[in-house]
Structure 1
Amino acid sequence: MGALMMHVCLVAALGASLCTAAPVSGGIQVFVTPTVSVRRGHTTTLPCWLNPPQSAEGLEVRWFRLDKFDSPIMFYREKSFQDSSQKASYVGRVSFGLKNAASGGLTAGDLSLKLENATIEDAGDYTCYVSSDLSDQGYDRASVSLTVTEMGASPLLSAEWKEDHMVNLSCESEGWYPEPSLRWSDQKQVLTPKSLKYSKDSSGLLSVNSWLLASSSTEVSCTVGVSNEEPKEARLRLENHPQTESIQSSSSSVAGWVAFVVLLIAMLVLLGGLCYKKREKKKKSGNHHTNENHPLLPKEVLSTASKFNVNVTLDKEGNQYLKIKNGILRDGRCDFPDGEKVTCLTAIKGTPGFSSGQHYWEVSVGKNDPNVDQIAFSLAQNPRFYCLSVPDRRRLVCI
């Protein structure tokens, strides 16, 4: 009898103890999707729901980070949001979301957190906590890990040729989060870099830089990316030494310019010789009269020179030393400051002007001038003027 009474007392004491202790889980069970990934600046949902489903409108729901239970990012109680204790950086960016398209929302036990405009600082663990005032339900919690990603720029490849047909290749890319992986490879295998370094800018984004030595006769690729995202790749095909190509190109360019200069000098000498012979021939024949309608260049060179024909208009304003009347250049009937020397101080400007190339035009000096029957002009480049020399005269026409 005494033993039986002692057994009854022990059962009664155990029952009393169980009734006074708060249930750790009770009737509420919380389930989550353990990992979620989102692009920086985008919107995502952290799924959390009750099982079995039941309305959560009368429950207390907290979403908080780490152990910041008293500083929740979202706090719902008594069918309304409690904003007074909400963490400032999440104001206006969090609300209840739907774990899928078929969800019935809060009335069906969906406690998912909707997070807008995700930032790098948002990455980390989030706790979904639910409790009830009913003693038979208690509380429960579960955590979700959020990864925030940012796709950086496409890799930039550069090459520096070394000795023994080797190339120093460098690959760099910026604007990534979290820390990206970088992989070198050629057409046959993965390559091991000589260096791999990371750096962080003021916004928290990461840059990666790496280099290696490779054979000059191969195709190398550099791939940069973060998990769950399509990586970005750059390729470089190494064939010929660029310095050799540059030297060949430079040699070809120099040779072309030399050929052009030689041809130009030969043409000027030919034109000058033909003009001189023509002038001497006319002098000997006694023909000292200039016909304005007659070409100043002989027929044998006119066909070539006419390809570069331009119309030059002399400035009608003239100057105190030279005059233009009826389109004819005349002396100003005064003493010239340069004496017999030919300079651009006694000149007439004209348009258009030329800074390069070959140009041909004709000028009438006067119908009745017995000393001038033909004029050959050659272009003389000057930083300020382009001058036309007049053979057997002491004047210049500058444009």
Structure 2
Amino acid sequence: MGALMMHVCLVAALGAYLCTAAPVLGGLQVFVTPIVSVRRGHTTTLPCWLNPPESAEGLEVRWFRPDQFDSPIMFYQKKKFQDSSQKASYVGRVSFGLKDAASGGLTTGDLSLKLENAMIEDAGDYTCYVSSDQGYDRASASLIVTEMGTSPLLSAEWKEDHMVNLSCESVGWYPEPSLRWSDQKQVLTPESLKNSKDSSGLLSVHSWLLVSSSTEVSCTVGVSNEESKEARVHLENHPQPEFIQSSSSSVAGWVAFALLLIAMLVLLGVLCYKKERYMFHLR
């Protein structure tokens, strides 16, 4: 029987997405959830299913990355997993998952991919491909892998004319984080903003700006659709250079006093020793 050709691009309920120009599996269509997000090191599921629902136990199911059809992440054929051509970095981390709690798995056409211990390298596009002797269909989804970095670290350096050079730094983010300065009234424009990547692929951000020494300033760092982290400083409550200098003088004074006290105790000890010797000779 000849394969039925369809060209369709649909957005269904709950964000399901299909865009295909392939022979359809006897009227069946493949749907996916277009975007899935997961925290690095966690487990997630990329939903993929047949519509209308039908058992997929006898079908060929292949999940693969772009341009890697022959090195699939997961390959199911003849009712068992075919591991010989599986992409090495996914060995032991992938299996069939459930798109929701009510799913019946393969018997109801659920082809979802379960991915464990998500890594930065896993981010990107995935294709869910299904075929039989009646044709094939496919749909693609994007996986976003995120990592929360450290809380911003603020440091201040006092300048002339009551100005302060504020620095903000945060490390260990993915993808590239945004950094925003603000005071009580408005968003502030930084003098500098730099991003860098470490050997593990995680990103850091560093920025600085000049502000008045009487300002309350916050630095907020985060990635899209994830919780952000903030640090805040009340500059008017921090020591000015004059205060720091007077504090240093005070410390020096205490050191001098301690040295004088030690010298007096030593002198007193010597006098007591001489007195004891004098009394001993009188006997």
Tell me the TM-score normalised to structure 2 length: 0.85
Once residues 122 and 246 of structure 1 are traced to their aligned partners in structure 2, the CA distance between those partners, rounded to angstroms, is 51
Q: Within 5 Å, give how 1:332-343 maps onto structure 2.
A: none
Q: Does 1:66 align with 2:62?
A: no
Q: For residue 9 of structure 2, what is the aligned residue in structure 1? A: none
CA contact (8 A) 1:389 1:395 kept: no
> Among residues 199, 202, 209, which one is paired with 1:202 in the alignment?
199
**Deviations along 1:340-367, whole A, 9 cap, x unmatched?**
xxxxxxxxxxxxxxx89969xxxxxxxx
Give how far 1:242 is off: 3.2
How many residues in Structure 1 have an aligned counterpart in Structure 2?
261
Runs of 4+ with deviation above 4 angstroms: 19-23, 254-262, 355-359, 392-396
Q: 1: CA distance between counterparts of 2:73 and 2:67?
A: 12
Q: Which residue of 2 aligns with 1:84?
A: 84
After superposition, the Cα gap between the structure-2 partners of 1:67 and 1:389, relative to the gap in structure 1 and judged at 3 Å, is same
- Rounded to whole Å, the distance in 2 between the matches of 1:62 and 1:259 is 81
Shift of 1:245: 1.7
Secondary structure at the counterpart of residue 389 of structure 1: helix
Q: Which has the higher strand share?
A: 2
Q: 1:28 to 1:395 in 2, by over 3 A?
A: farther
CA distance in 2, matches of 1:109, 1:28: 10
Correspondence 1:221-240 to 2 at 5 A: 221-239=218-236, 240=238
Distance between the aligned counterparts of 1:246 and 1:213, measured in 2?
Answer: 20
Label 1:162 to 1:127 Cα distance change in 2 as closer, same or farther (>3 A). same
Q: In 2, Cα distance between the equivalents of 1:50 and 1:356?
A: 91
Partner residue, 1:33: 33
Letter of the 1:391 counterpart? K
Q: Is the 8 A contact 1:28 1:139 kept in 2?
A: no
Q: What is the DSSP-based 3-state SS (H/G/I as helix, E as strand, rest coil) of the residue aligned with 1:141? A: strand
Aligned counterpart, 1:173: 170
Q: Which residue of 1 aligns with 2:246?
A: 248
Aligned to 1:390: 274
Contact 1:198/1:208, CA 8 A, preserved across alignment:
yes
Q: Where do residues 255-270 of structure 1 align in structure 2 (5 Å cutoff)?
A: 255-256=253-254
Q: Output the amino acid matched with 2:177.
A: P
Structure 2: gaps of 5 or more residues: 6-21
C-alpha separation in 1, matches of 2:153 and 2:38 = 26
Q: 3-state SS of the aligned residue for 2:23?
A: coil
SS at match of 1:139: strand
Task: Determine which structure has more spread, i.e. the larger CA radius of gyration.
Answer: 1
Rounded to whole Å, the distance in 1 between the matches of 2:208 and 2:63 is: 45
CA drift at 1:195: 0.6
Please state whether the residue corresponding to 2:204 is helix, strand or coil. strand
SS in 2 for 1:37: strand
Alignment check: 8 A CA contact 2:3 2:23 kept:
no
- Alpha-carbon distance in structure 2 between the residues aligned to 1:21 and 1:108: 23
Aligned-residue sequence identity (percent) comes to 74
Map Cα deviations across residues 6-63 of structure 1 (whole Å, 9 max, x no partner). Answer: xxxxxxxxxxxxx666743331200110000001000000000001000000111000
Higher relative contact order (Cα pairs below 8 Å, separated by 6+ residues): 2
Alpha-carbon distance in 2 for matches of 1:118, 1:183: 28
Residue 229 of structure 1 deviates from its aligned partner by 1.2
Which residues in structure 2 correspond to 1:140-179 (within 5 Å)? 140-179=137-176
SS state of the match for residue 161, structure 2?
A: coil
Distance 1:65 1:356 in 2: 79
Residue 378 (structure 1) aligns with: 268
Cα deviation, 1:219-240, whole Å, max 9, x if unaligned, reads 1111111112110111111015
Q: Please report how far the alpha carbon of residue 146 of structure 1 lies from its aligned counterpart in structure 2 after TM superposition.
A: 0.2
Give the Cα separation in 2 of the matches to 1:104 and 1:392.
Answer: 100
Structure 1 position 217 matched with structure 2 position 214 = yes
Structure-2 separation of matches of 1:395 and 1:123: 91
Deviation at 1:395, TM superposition (A): 11
Q: Would the alpha carbon gap of residues 141 and 356 (structure 1) be closer, same or farther in structure 2, given more than 3 Å must change? A: farther
Distance 1:395 1:221 in 2: 74
Counterpart code for 2:275: P
Equivalent residues of 1:161, 1:241 under 8 A apart: no
- Offset of residue 389 of structure 1: 3.0
State the alpha-carbon separation in 2 of the partners of residues 114 and 21 from structure 1: 30
Per the alignment, residue 46 of structure 1 pairs with 46
- What is the TM-score of this pair, normalised by structure 1? 0.61
Contact map agreement 2:157 2:164 (CA 8 A) in 1: yes
- For structure 1, the residue ranges without an aligned partner over 5 or more in a row are 1-18, 265-354, 360-376, 381-386
Counterparts of 1:203 and 1:66 in 2: how far apart (Å)? 23
**C-alpha spacing 1:82/1:357, structure 2 compared with 1 (3 Å):** farther
CA contact (8 A) 1:154 1:234 kept: yes
